[in-house]
């Protein structure tokens, strides 16, 4: 279990074929950074695509150098002998278009102007990501994925894949996700966006030219996000009403441990994450609604799906609650598709999908073992 994929290197794919996005905008050229773990087998049947969530990236497993303190964001799930076993599968992680970790995004230089795209970078939808991911698969010679796996916004991409490219996905693992956001969920995203958009250092998205970052806005957005990723119980257990100094100071400085935690998370995030990417990712979440072009009927949207599904949710996740996963399950059942569903008991809220947990990992392992047998991996 403690084995890792070891040292990894990011790669870059350049796409010169223009892509027209859902918004109507066209990008003439773009790059995607990605990492791969394991070996693609001779008939190229053992590939797994990992789709990342709001703040994720292509660095899913392993470390870049021996001295890296932190491994890839899903290192507990992916590696030799782990549930997504890199001894059997060829695993691909990428940074989505519009990201800020090396793929073309708002902070990249626009070759037309020689300046960062900033406010001119188009919005990208989940279905657009799926198209760019399909192009990356073409480049790697992968016609059909053994599985496409994602949590949260990543799960939406996995679901979208099965609708956009039914023949290219054998299995979709949709974890802690939803068929579309609720009004409450969009509301949280908009408060986060407002924090960024109203930061004086945002400059309408063109802060790069002003040598500054909208840190305050991004920090608030992240703090708000973090609250919604944890459960009340989990937060209570971890922080309770603990005071840093043990007594009230009668002021507005950091006093409670939860304040310290959120400010730390916010500060860290605002230093490395691009504000425009954050805005773009939250809009991709809000716009996601694969049933929209099928009279709002998800069952119809799923009619052509050939993939089999594993849907997983977590009991204390209120941002992407079990009820939302059950909507996906019901639509799949009504559409006469194959699906298994697990509701994992957890106190970690939405974050649970990233945590190491025996029952959760056991079911992932069991499902992926069957896939491995099916594709002779």
Partner 1 sequence: MNATTLRPDLRHIADWITPGASVLDLGCGDGALLAWLAANKDCRGYGVEIDVASVTACVERGVNVIQSDMEAGLSTFEDKAFNFVVLSLTLQAMHNIEGILTEMLRVGRTGIVTFPNFGYWENRWQLLLGRMPVSETIPYEWYNTPNIHLCTVYDFERLLKKLGMWSTGRVVLHQGERVEFLPNLLGSLALERFERA
What mask of x and - would describe binding to partner 1 in positions 150 to 189, judged by CB under 8 A?
A: ----------------------------------------
Residue 303, interface with partner 1 (CB under 8 A)? no
Six token digits for residue 160: 């979208």
d(CA 292, CA 290): 5
Residues composing the chain: 377
Least distance in angstroms from the C-beta of 173 to partner 1: 11
Please name the residues in contact with 4: beta carbons below 8 A apart, sequence gap of 6 or more.
61, 62, 63, 71, 75, 79, 80
Query: Is residue 30 within 8 Å of residue 103, measured between CB atoms?
Result: yes
Q: Which is nearer to partner 1, 130 or 342 (CB)?
A: 342
Least distance in angstroms from the C-beta of 310 to partner 1: 7
H-assigned helices in the chain: 126-139, 153-164, 183-197, 215-229, 232-238, 257-272, 275-287, 298-301, 322-334, 358-374
Residue 370, interface with partner 1 (CB under 8 A)? yes
Catalytic residue from among 165, 317, 325, 346: 317
CB neighbour class for 50 (10 Å; exposed up to 12, middle 13-18, buried from 19): buried
Give the CA count within 13 Å in the CB-facing half-sphere of 80: 9
Which residue from 147, 175, 344, 377 is in contact with partner 1, where contact means CB under 8 A?
344
Q: Which is nearer to partner 1, 176 or 221 (CB)?
A: 176
Catalytic residue from among 152, 177, 270, 325: 152
Please name the residues in contact with 345: beta carbons below 8 A apart, sequence gap of 6 or more.
314, 315, 359
Residue 334, interface with partner 1 (CB under 8 A)? yes
Which residue from 1, 14, 139, 362 is in contact with partner 1, where contact means CB under 8 A?
362
Listed ranges 39-47, 78-86, 134-142, 332-340: which one lies at the site for partner 1 (CB under 8 A): 332-340
Active site residue 317: yes
Residues of the shown chain interacting with partner 1 in the complex, contacts defined by CB under 8 A? 310, 326, 329-330, 333-334, 338-345, 359, 362-363, 366-367, 369-370
The catalytic site residues sit at 152, 317, 350
């Amino acid at each position: 279990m403690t084995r890792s994929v070891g040292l990894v290197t990011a790669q870059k794919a350049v796409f010169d074929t223009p892509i027209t996005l859902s918004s109507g905008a066209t990008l003439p050229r773009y790059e995607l950074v990605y990492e791969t773990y394991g070996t693609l087998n001779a008939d190229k049947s053992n590939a797994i695509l990992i789709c990342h969530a709001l703040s994720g990236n292509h660095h899913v497993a392993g470390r870049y150098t021996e001295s890296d303190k932190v491994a890839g964001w899903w290192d507990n799930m992916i590696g030799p002998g782990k549930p997504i076993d890199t001894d059997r599968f060829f695993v691909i992680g990428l940074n989505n278009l519009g990201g800020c970790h090396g793929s073309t995004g708002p902070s990249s230089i626009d070759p037309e102007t020689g300046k960062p795209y900033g406010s001119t970078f188009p919005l990208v939808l989940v279905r657009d990501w799926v198209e760019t991911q399909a192009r990356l698969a073409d480049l790697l010679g992968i016609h059909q994925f053994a599985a496409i796996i994602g949590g949260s916004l990543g799960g939406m991409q996995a679901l979208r894949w099965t609708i956009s490219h039914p023949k290219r996905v054998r299995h979709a693992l949709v974890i802690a996700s939803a068929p579309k956001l609720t009004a409450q969920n969009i509301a949280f995203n908009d408060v986060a966006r407002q924090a960024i958009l109203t930061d004086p250092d945002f400059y309408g998205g063109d802060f790069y030219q002003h040598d500054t970052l909208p840190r305050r806005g991004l920090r608030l957005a992240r703090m708000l996000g973090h609250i919604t990723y944890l459960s009340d119980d989990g937060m209570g257990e971890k922080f309770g009403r603990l005071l840093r100094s043990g007594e009230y100071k009668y002021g507005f400085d950091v006093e409670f441990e939860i304040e310290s935690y959120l400010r730390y998370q916010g500060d860290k995030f605002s230093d490395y994450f691009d504000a425009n990417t954050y805005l773009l990712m939250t809009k991709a979440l809000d716009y996601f609604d694969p049933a929209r072009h099928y009279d709002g009927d998800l069952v119809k949207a799923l009619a052509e799906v050939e993939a089999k599904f594993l849907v997983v949710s977590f009991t204390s996740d209120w941002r992407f609650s079990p009820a939302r996963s059950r909507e996906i399950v019901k639509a799949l059942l009504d559409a006469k598709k194959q699906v298994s569903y697990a509701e994992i008991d957890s106190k970690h809220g939405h974050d649970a999908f990233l945590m190491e947990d025996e029952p959760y990992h056991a079911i992932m392992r069991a499902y992926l073992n069957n896939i491995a047998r099916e594709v002779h991996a």
